[in-house]
Structure 1
Amino acid sequence: MIAGLIINPIAGMGGRVALKGTDGVVEEAVKRGARPIAEDLTRLFLHELSHYGESQGIRFMTGPDGLGESVLKDFDFRYDVIRHREVGYREVMGVKLPDTRAEDTEELARRMKGDVDILVFAGGDGTARDVFKAVGGELPILGIPTGVKMFSGIFAASPENAARLLVEFLLGNARLVERDVMDLDENAFRHDEVRPRHYGKVLTPYTELLLQGAKEPTKTDEAEDIEATIEALADELEDGVYFLGAGSTIKRLKDMLGIDGTLLGVDIVEVRNGKARLLVRDAAEGDLLRFVNKRPKVIVTVIGGLNFLFGRGNQQFSAEVLRNIPKENIIVVAAPSKVRDGFIRVYTGDSEVDEKLRGYIKVRVSPWMERMVKVV
């Protein structure tokens, strides 16, 4: 099997620093302390893949330098490099980054079309959109999740799961399903405006639990139930510091507490004698780390369709942050439809932290009921 591999080397840099994406804000991300993560996550994918004997039957086609070559050269896989242009490097405040752009992804994808059996890319929704623009629905596509949002339904649940899914595809055990390519206006997203756009449908390999779904909104007939659940939760909050997560469900709680919280970011709040005070609005990973010694509680929801609790759109809750939060201090509230599959996902990139969170967790699904849901 011949597989294309394209890496977007800046994907995901904006997540931990509360930029909700990286398109057009690389300099700002670095200024806030961000570092590249896409190559490291692709290495996790290739490391997992190398454990399978069947992977020796895979030959890769990839891009030069940071577009794929610089990672593949560290492994024993056979590969060919499409040198569509010379890729230089630039320094941003001491951080060395490949000087790449969306056009590189598109050009490489176009050149691979017709020569590869599947195209694997490392990035987020923006990279998925660039790949789709180049190849449409003409060949299977699989995403290694290295971005921030990743609302499209073509991403594996983790880099390791992407490797397992590629092997299943090679063996003929993964069926091809049609999934949506979606993206949001990142600038609007940073200003708490959700402007989703559907770009089209592609084929992607699927086996249960290895591939995530696509983002789904809360059902309108559950809105009143969620409102009542949030109202009950607000009345029950004890004195202390809270990390309030992203999403419309938690935004209702922020509004009910009377704070000017974000819709799509994480806010740090202190509750005293039934009154809430906003400590940090739109907090980054570093802000959360400054407060972990206050024994905070985390209140989060589940992303509908994706089934993620941590690892999609809220990378401020990094492994380092969650390592310092006892599992019993994590309060999950969600509409019943968001946990209908009986499981929710976490992925921090740290196996020890992920293992701590796995098992079962209580999910508040109504003012008077909690459901035990499996964390995978």
Structure 2
Amino acid sequence: MRIGFLVNPVAGMGGRVGLKGTDGKVAEARARGAEPRAPDRARRALAALAERAPEADLLAWGDPMGASLVREAGFDPEVLGSPAGDDGGADSTDDEETDADDTRAAVAAFREADADLVVFVGGDGTAADVAGSLAGSGVPMLGVPAGVKVYSSVFGVSPEDAAYVAATFERTERREVMDIDEDEYREGEVTPELRAVAHVPVAERLQSGKQTSAGTVESLAEGVADDVRARPETTWVLGPGSTVGEVKAALCFEGSPIGVDVYRDGEVVATDVAESEILDALGEDNVIVVTPIGGQGFVFGRGNPQLSPAVIRECDLEIVASRDKLDDLRVLRVDTDDPELDEALRGWVKVRVGRFERRMMKIV
């Protein structure tokens, strides 16, 4: 199998520093101390691919878009070009900024070189660029999730799952590529738009597209608010989403609908915070309140990168969701960028669905 492998080196950089995305915000993300996320996600996918399909022929694009990472995993890739237009031989994996034209050029080269599959590391914006370049070719695409927002159903659940799908799939199906306007997203408007329909390998280890779910959550929110008021010394880290937004409303404040807010002892400590601000605000007793993404079931790793492994390890976990949302989910998922933490979080958990009621769900 010939696999074109491509990395968007700045995908996901804006997440932990509270930018909700990286489109047009790379310089600001760096100024806030953001670290590249995509290269490590690529390493995980490539290591798993090398284990499952060491005989695969890999096509690559010059650094920082993946060539050295592919070599690092033990493959001898055919490097078809680079963002700078040279032979891509430099052994650099820095996070210099590339753009959509670089992505499209790489995918066009993979297509011309008869790739059987294009695997990309990025988010929804990268997926839209890849799908556009593959339109009409029938060549399937598969995403390694690395962006802040991952609404499309063309991604593996984790880097390792993406590698498993790439190594084992036998057929493809058409799936939707969705994206949202990041400026509107930062203002609290979440309106996913269909950008393309792409051929994608068929496998259970692909995430579903994000869906919206209706359900009455007022009593659930009041129950959480009662707990918050009963524990004034506890620091409450309140994640994004409409369900947790109802909790914030029950506590009589208007928080960030797509950001993370911190609350303690009857007061809002901070709103729309980045990872570093959350860590600064934590005390001896801390609780994260988070809701899974509807249709996908991710508790961590989609839309809330501010809730980093360092933050999660300092907190107890309260998962809240409407009954309708859970009815649409078979399992819950996590993808924290820390495989050991992901493993520790897996297992059966109680999800609050009412003022007092809870439902058992499994994190896989």
**TM bucket, shorter chain:** over 0.9
Render the CA deviation track for 1:132-156: whole Å, top value 9, x for unaligned. 1211263211000111111100110
For the Cα contact (< 8 Å) 1:142–1:156, is it kept in 2?
Answer: yes
TM-superposition CA deviations, 1:296-330 (whole Å, max 9, x none): 111110101111000011011111111222xxx21
Cα deviation 1:170-223 (Å, max 9, x = unaligned): xx3xx4232210011001111111132111211211322x1111111123xx2x
Deviations along 1:66-103, whole A, 9 cap, x unmatched?
11112112132232111155269xxxxxx953241110
* 1:320 aligned to which of 293, 310, 313: 310
- In the alignment, which of 61, 64, 81 is matched to residue 62 of structure 2? 64
Question: Which amino acid is 2:68 matched to?
Answer: S
The correspondence for 1:358, drawn from 342, 346, 353, is: 346
**Equivalent in the alignment of 1:151:** 151
Which of these residues, 80, 83, 86, is aligned with residue 82 of structure 1? 80
C-alpha contact (below 8 Å) 2:7/2:121 kept by paired residues: yes
Q: Could you tell me which amino acid in structure 2 is paired with residue 35 of structure 1?
A: E
Counterpart position of 2:129: 130
- CA-based RMSD: 1.8
| Correspondence for 1:33 | 33
Is the contact made by 2:42 and 2:69 (CA closer than 8 Å) also made in structure 1? yes
CA 1:235/1:28 → structure 2, altered by over 3 Å: closer, same or farther?
same
Q: Give a deviation string over 1:338-376, Cα, whole Å, max 9, x none.
A: 323331001112122112211111111233421010011
Flag the 1:296–1:68 CA change in 2: closer, same or farther, 3 A.
same
- 1:117-196 correspondence to structure 2 within 5 Å: 117-136=116-135, 138-169=138-169, 172=170, 175-196=171-192
Q: Secondary structure at the match of 2:157?
A: coil
User: In 1, Cα distance between the equivalents of 2:363 and 2:43?
Assistant: 25
Once the two structures are TM-superposed, the CA of residue 235 in structure 1 deviates from its matched residue by: 2.6
Letter in 2 for 1:110: A
Q: Structure 1 164/231 Cα, relative in aligned 2: closer, same or farther at 3 Å?
A: same
CA 200–266 in structure 1, closer or farther in 2 if over 3 Å, else same: same
Which of residues 92, 105, 116 in structure 2 aligns to 1:107? 105
Please give the TM-score of this superposition, normalised by the length of structure 1.
0.89
| Matching residue of 1:213 | 208
Which residue does the alignment assign to 1:91? none
Shift of 1:242: 0.3
Corresponding residue number in structure 2 for 1:266: 260
DSSP 3-state at the match of 1:71: helix
> CA-to-partner distance for each residue in 1:274-302, whole Å, 9 max, x for gaps?
xx311111111111211333311111101
Q: Which moved more, 1:18-27 or 1:106-115?
A: 106-115
Asked if 2 retains the 8 angstrom alpha-carbon contact of 1:58 and 1:78, the reply is no
Instruction: Report the TM-score, using the length of structure 2 for normalisation.
Output: 0.92
Aligned AA (1:162): A
Contact 1:244–1:298 (8 Å) recurs in 2: yes
Query: Aligned partners of 2:157 and 2:323: how far apart in 1?
Result: 21
Residue 260 of structure 1 and its aligned partner are, at CA, apart by 2.9
Report which stretch shifted further, 158-167 or 291-300. Answer: 291-300
Kept in 2, the 8 Å contact 1:157–1:211? The answer is yes
Q: Distance in 2 between matches of 1:373 and 1:37?
A: 29
The CA distance in 2 between the partners of 1:136 and 1:293, in whole Å, is 51
Q: Which residue of 1 aligns with 2:218?
A: 227
Q: How far off its partner does 1:57 sit?
A: 2.8
Q: Secondary structure at the match of 1:294?
A: coil
- Displacement of 1:14 after TM fit? 0.6
Q: 5+ residue gaps in structure 2?
A: 87-92
SS of aligned partner of 1:66: coil
In structure 2, do the counterparts of structure 1 residues 318 and 87 end up closer, same or farther at CA, with 3 Å as the change threshold?
farther
Post-superposition shift, 1:40? 1.4
Unaligned runs of 5+ in 1: 89-94
SS at match of 1:41: helix
Candidates 236, 245, 259, aligned match of 1:242: 236
Q: CA deviation at 1:111?
A: 2.3
What CA distance in whole angstroms lies between the structure 1 residues aligned with 2:64 and 2:190?
31
